[in-house]
């Protein structure tokens, strides 16, 4: 509990000092006035309806919403425009798919996100359960590209792919029918078509999807460190001396971490997998039946090696452009490697258990990191009815990002 309290303390300090990230951008109000500002960049997964901004580094934070802003952009990588459109919110989730092929359009005013900007514009909208693309050409009215799954029987799903017909009828320069037929209702496929059409129409494109793809979404990290491990055994008998405490040992651990940064919220969230080798070897001498005719000394030893694979989630909090702190939690899959426990001359099998880890750390320049990690305990002798054990580890882990 003390170790977990330390991690919670580190997390609290980090939250107090973590810097809110404001990026260069602009806003256009209802009067058409454009103002250069600093916008709080949340790298929105769902299209926003409001946002926070500052006029400069020292000015107070202000809030604006879709009622007053017709367009805003952040850091030349994200641009939103207010449009009143007809949108179909029909679900794509199998359990909630409609039996009606026809879209159920409703008029809404939304911030649409630019995917491609040019003669033909491609927009995107997402909320909790809706993902839709929109388009227009030469400043015409913005319309939804229609795609809708629907049931034709209790078990058969078909798809309204009207978006392919819309593209075929409106993007008539340089696009082959086969390209349209093979185009999925996804960002990459539709982006290629709109960029190609704009190039054919003697116009350029701003490909916002390409700008975003240049960001880093995968890291390979080498993770050596020092582990502090402790082991305790309990023989469930009437003798209160049936408990043995083994020395705390400091050992070397080495791991390779595969970190996958999630493509929203400014890479603040990541999923990681970290195969790690660790070991613990020591012995203990305990006196049982003390003060009786049957008093004797028992020697116990443990030689424990394992390949642990934490699979977890991590959250980063930025301090400045080069520094950030993070917290993470992981489920650890443990595989024992030729391990044993002995009492006197009797050898017992060790059964590696899975457990959970919590950690907090600091990363500098997206290259160097240090983390304090605490693992919950493992019962390595759980195969034996009369025995309990408690193996616990705390690690100081250093990291270097290869790429």
Give 142-155 pLDDT, tens digit per residue. 999 999 999 999 88
One domain for residues 225 and 362: yes
Of 28, 46, 76, which residue sits at a domain end? 76
Of 39, 60, 76, which residue sits at a domain end? 76
pTM of the entire structure? 0.70
Does residue 356 lie in a domain region? yes
Burial per residue of 53-89, b for 16 or more beta-carbon CB atoms within 10 angstroms, e otherwise? bbeeeeeeeeebebeebbbbbbbeebbbbbbebebbe
Q: Where is pLDDT greater, at 239 or 384?
A: 384
What tens digit of pLDDT does each residue of 29-42 get?
999 999 999 999 88
Question: Which pLDDT score is estimated for 252?
Answer: 94
pLDDT at 235 over 70: yes
Question: Which pLDDT score is estimated for 7?
Answer: 52
Q: What angle do CA 4, 394, 274 make, to 5 degrees?
A: 105
- The CA dihedral of 3, 4, 10, 11, to the nearest 10 degrees, is 170
One domain for residues 207 and 265: no
Residues 195-214, mean pLDDT to the nearest whole number: 85
Does residue 7 lie in a domain region? no
One domain for residues 252 and 285: yes
Contact 192, 122 (CB under 8 A): no
Question: Which pLDDT score is estimated for 242?
Answer: 65
CA nearest 333: which of 312, 313, 302, 315?
312
pLDDT at 239 over 80: no
CA nearest 278: which of 391, 159, 362?
391
Q: Which band of pLDDT confidence, cut at 50, 70 and 90, is reported for residue 77?
A: confident
Number of domains in the chain: 3
Counted residue by residue, the chain has a size of 403
One domain for residues 114 and 55: no
User: Could you tell me the two tokens for 163?
Assistant: 């978006």
Instruction: Quickly list DSSP for 313-348.
Output: EEEEEESSSSEEEEEEEEEEEEEE-S-EEEETTEEE
One domain for residues 97 and 47: no
One domain for residues 208 and 225: no
Lowest mean pLDDT among 51-65, 173-187, 273-287: 273-287
One domain for residues 46 and 85: no
**Residues 6 or more apart from 321 whose CB is under 8 A from it?**
none
One domain for residues 198 and 312: no
pLDDT at 15 over 60: no
The count of other CB atoms within 10 Å of the CB of residue 195 is: 21
In the chain, DSSP finds a helix count (H) and a strand count (E) of: 5, 25
Q: Which burial class, exposed, middle or buried, applies to 107 when counting CB atoms under 10 A from its CB (0-12, 13-18, 19+)?
A: exposed
Of 76, 108, 124, which residue sits at a domain end? 76
The count of other CB atoms within 10 Å of the CB of residue 380 is: 27
Does residue 4 lie in a domain region? no
One domain for residues 138 and 54: no
What's 367's domain CATH number? 2.40.160.20
Residues 310-319, mean pLDDT to the nearest whole number: 93
* Three-class HEC string of 97-125: CECCCCCCEEEEEEEEEEEEECCEEEEEE
User: Could you tell me the two tokens for 275?
Assistant: 């195969």
One domain for residues 157 and 144: yes
One domain for residues 368 and 322: yes
Lowest mean pLDDT among 12-16, 112-116, 233-237: 12-16
Does residue 2 lie in a domain region? no
Residues of the domain holding 292 = 218-401
């Amino acid at each position: 509990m003390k170790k977990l309290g330390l991690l919670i303390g580190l997390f609290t300090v980090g939250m107090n000092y973590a810097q809110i990230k404001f990026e260069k951008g602009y806003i256009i109000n209802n009067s058409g006035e454009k103002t250069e500002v600093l916008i709080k960049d949340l790298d929105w997964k769902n299209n926003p309806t409001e946002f926070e901004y500052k006029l400069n580094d020292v000015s107070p934070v202000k809030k604006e919403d879709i009622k007053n802003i017709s367009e805003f952009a952040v850091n030349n990588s994200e641009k939103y425009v207010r449009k009143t459109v007809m949108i179909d919110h029909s679900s794509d989730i199998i359990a909630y798919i409609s039996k009606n092929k026809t879209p159920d359009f409703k008029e809404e005013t939304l911030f649409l996100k630019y995917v491609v900007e040019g003669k033909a514009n491609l927009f995107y909208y997402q909320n909790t359960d809706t993902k839709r693309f929109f388009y227009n050409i030469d400043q015409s009215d913005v319309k939804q590209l229609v795609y809708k799954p629907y049931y034709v029987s209790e078990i058969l799903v078909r798809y309204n792919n009207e978006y392919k017909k819309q593209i075929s009828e409106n993007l008539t320069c340089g696009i082959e029918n086969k390209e349209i037929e093979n185009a999925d209702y996804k960002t990459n496929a539709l982006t290629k078509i709109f960029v190609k059409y704009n190039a054919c129409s003697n116009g350029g494109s701003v490909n916002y999807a390409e700008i975003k793809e240049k960001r880093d979404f995968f890291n390979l990290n080498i993770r050596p460190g020092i582990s502090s491990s402790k082991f305790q055994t309990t023989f469930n008998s009437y003798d209160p001396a049936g408990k043995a405490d083994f020395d705390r040992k400091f050992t070397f651990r080495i791991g390779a971490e595969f970190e996958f940064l999630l493509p929203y919220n400014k890479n603040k969230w990541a999923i990681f997998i970290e195969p790690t080798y660790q070991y613990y070897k020591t012995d203990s001498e305990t006196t049982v039946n003390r003060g009786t005719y049957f008093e004797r000394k028992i020697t116990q030893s443990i030689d424990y090696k394992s390949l642990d694979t934490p699979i977890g989630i991590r959250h980063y909090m930025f301090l400045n452009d080069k520094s950030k702190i993070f917290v993470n939690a992981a489920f650890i899959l443990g595989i024992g490697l030729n391990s044993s426990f002995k009492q006197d001359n009797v050898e017992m099998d060790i059964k590696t258990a899975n457990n959970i880890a919590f950690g907090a750390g600091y990363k500098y320049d997206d290259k160097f990191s240090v983390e304090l990690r605490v693992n919950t305990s493992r019962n390595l002798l759980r195969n034996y009815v009369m025995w309990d054990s408690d193996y616990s580890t705390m690690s100081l882990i250093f990291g270097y990002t290869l790429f």
